[in-house]
Amino acid sequence: MPAIAQPLPDDIAAAVEGLIAFARAEIQPRHERYGDILDDPRRRFREDGRLADETVEIIREMRMCAAEAGFYTMCVPESLGGGGLGHLAYFAGWQALFHHCGPHHWLMLYAISHWAFGPSRLLEKVGPRAREEILAPLMRGEQSMCFGLSEPGAGSDVQAMRTRAVADGEGWRLSGRKIWTTNSPIADYCIVFAVTDSDRAAERRGGISAFLVPTDAPGFRIDRVIRMFGSIGGDEAELAFEDIRVEPWQLVGELHDGFRTALYGVNLGRIYNTARAVGLGRWALETALDHASQREAFGQPIAAFQGVSFPLAESAMELHAAHLMGRNMSTLLDQGEAAVKEVSMTKAYAVEIGVRAVDRAMQTHGAMGFTNEIGLTEAWHALRVVNVADGTNEILRRTIAQRLLKGDVDI
Ligand SMILES: Cc1cc2nc3c(=O)[nH]c(=O)nc-3n(C[C@H](O)[C@H](O)[C@H](O)COP(=O)(O)OP(=O)(O)OC[C@H]3O[C@@H](n4cnc5c(N)ncnc54)[C@H](O)[C@@H]3O)c2cc1C
């Protein structure tokens, strides 16, 4: 019996079914084939923390295979040459992949173009020359991107950024630093946000612009790869820009209106992370249900103890709510609504209950819950960080409260 009354539209349901078949045919076999590299951090990363060349090549091959199969760009607008499936498909596709693949088969991260690493509706904001120069290899999955917004001194309060693009002839000269930029160590382009009008930026009336910068531009430097949770490598890095020349064609969106572009991107991230929390949370719950049914203590399966089964029932209630909220938020966005309050409520709720679901599954497993074999620790790490990334839980509550106090009280 379906748990959700409103089925997905036929085209999205078919895409989701196709993605699961793709995971079985192309993602899982790659993990078997390349397991010695992908599962061993000593081979997956280089000593400086970057992904090893072999890993980068496997990821590129995965992206290109997904592009060839039509999944990679299925949610990219048709105006950019994509499948134009929209926000609900983006949510449903990611949710299904995370649920099906769990944390072990992480090449699934490259099956659909991630909004920050590959082509997305964000690229509708680039001009004709940029489309000409960068779009085709991005759509084929050959190349990738990253999104440079946060800085060492400007995270939640991102408008306090210090990176500057100073007008120089027809273009600009860009200097500053970014931090936590995911995928930057292997990306070909970075969308960099910089102050272009200091007065307006100081008054918080715009004054920030977005630029498309090739990562091999003179003056573009990756200062360090950041290691999280004791990992020996990572996807996030700290970047430095020294007097990089930027031409008018590299402007993304309107001059001085980059903050709107940034929020647009971050919004897509909130959909992605909601889907990730629901999908990985469901995977963790099912893993815990299996274990609780098989593991015996005091002469019976531990599932017979309410102390074990009730927390799992709690996870089911919360995941169901987050799943419905995710579907609703995506549908509102497809209907052209800004859905600021709904996106904020959904992302904050989903990532909090997603971590809780994984944590409860760990407890259900006893000591086994903390081993690398089960994968719960990876799932916990993945979801714990998204309680901060793409808007912290506190900043999202601030946005919700602001909307409520402005009279947006429809719940
Ligand atoms: C895994 C990961 C990947 C990321 N990837 C990217 C990326 O690709 N590109 C990018 O640009 N950024 C990225 N980020 C950065 C992310 O967007 C920031 O970490 C986030 O915006 C928070 O900023 P901060 O870490 O500086 O925390 P801070 O802003 O310093 O916040 C510290 C604490 O204070 C709280 N706080 C701050 N202001 C308020 C307030 N007004 N009310 C209540 N509480 C408040 C916060 O909620 C938080 O708990 C990533 C982060 C992570 C963890």
Q: Are 230 and 377 contacting, i.e. CB atoms less than 8 angstroms apart?
A: no
Identify the H or E element spanning 305.
none
Q: How many angstroms separate the Cα of 244 from the Cα of each of 142, 262, 285?
A: 25, 21, 48
Nearest atom within ligand 1 for CA of residue 228: 1
To test ligand 1's pocket by mutation, which of 120, 122, 156 has the most ligand atoms within 8 angstroms of CB?
Answer: 156
The protein residue with its alpha carbon nearest to ligand 1, atom 41, reads 395
What pLDDT does 225 receive?
97
Calculate how far, in angstroms, residue 374's C-alpha sits from the geometric centre of ligand 1. Answer: 29
Give me the tens of pLDDT residue by residue for the chain, a chain 411 residues long.
899 999 999 999 999 999 999 999 999 999 999 999 999 999 999 999 999 999 999 999 999 999 999 999 999 999 999 999 999 999 999 999 999 999 999 999 999 999 999 999 999 999 999 999 999 999 999 999 999 999 999 999 999 999 999 999 999 999 999 999 999 999 999 999 999 999 999 999 999 999 999 999 999 999 999 999 989 999 999 999 999 999 999 999 999 999 999 998 899 999 999 999 999 999 999 999 999 999 999 999 999 999 999 999 999 999 999 999 999 999 999 999 999 999 999 999 999 999 999 999 999 999 999 999 999 999 999 999 999 999 999 999 999 999 999 999 999
145-252 has the same fold as 10-126: no
**CB 387 near ligand 1, within 6 Å:** no
Q: Are 192 and 181 contacting, i.e. CB atoms less than 8 angstroms apart?
A: no
**CB 180 near ligand 1, within 6 Å:** yes
Query: Rounded to the nearest 10 degrees, how much is the dihedral formed by the CA atoms of 359, 314, 274, 389?
Result: -40
For 145-252, CATH gives: 2.40.110.10
Residue spans of the domains in the chain: they are 10-126, 145-252, 262-405
**CB 181 near ligand 1, within 6 Å:** yes
Place of tokens 């612009």: 209
Reported CATH class of domain 262-405: mainly alpha
Please name the residues in contact with 27: beta carbons below 8 A apart, sequence gap of 6 or more. Answer: 62, 101, 105, 107, 108, 111
Topology adopted by domain 10-126: Butyryl-Coa Dehydrogenase, subunit A; domain 1 (1.10.540)
The protein residue with its alpha carbon nearest to ligand 1, atom 44, reads 394
**CB 116 near ligand 1, within 6 Å:** yes
Instruction: Tally Cβ neighbours within 10 Å of residue 406.
Output: 9
Identify the H or E element spanning 14.
helix 10-22
- The rounded distance, in Å, linking the Cα atoms of 36 and 48 is 20
What pLDDT does 379 receive?
98
- The rounded distance, in Å, linking the Cα atoms of 58 and 33 is 11
Q: Considering only CA atoms, which of 119, 125, 66, 58 is closest in space to residue 93?
A: 66
What pLDDT does 8 receive?
98
Query: For residue 11, which phi and psi values (nearest 5 degrees)?
Result: -65, -35
Opening angle at CA 394, ends 288 and 319, nearest 5:
25
To test ligand 1's pocket by mutation, which of 150, 276, 385 has the most ligand atoms within 8 angstroms of CB?
Answer: 150
What pLDDT does 310 receive?
98
Calculate how far, in angstroms, residue 176's C-alpha sits from the geometric centre of ligand 1. Answer: 18
What pLDDT does 268 receive?
94
Calculate how far, in angstroms, residue 177's C-alpha sits from the geometric centre of ligand 1. Answer: 16
**CB 388 near ligand 1, within 6 Å:** yes
Calculate how far, in angstroms, residue 114's C-alpha sits from the geometric centre of ligand 1. Answer: 20
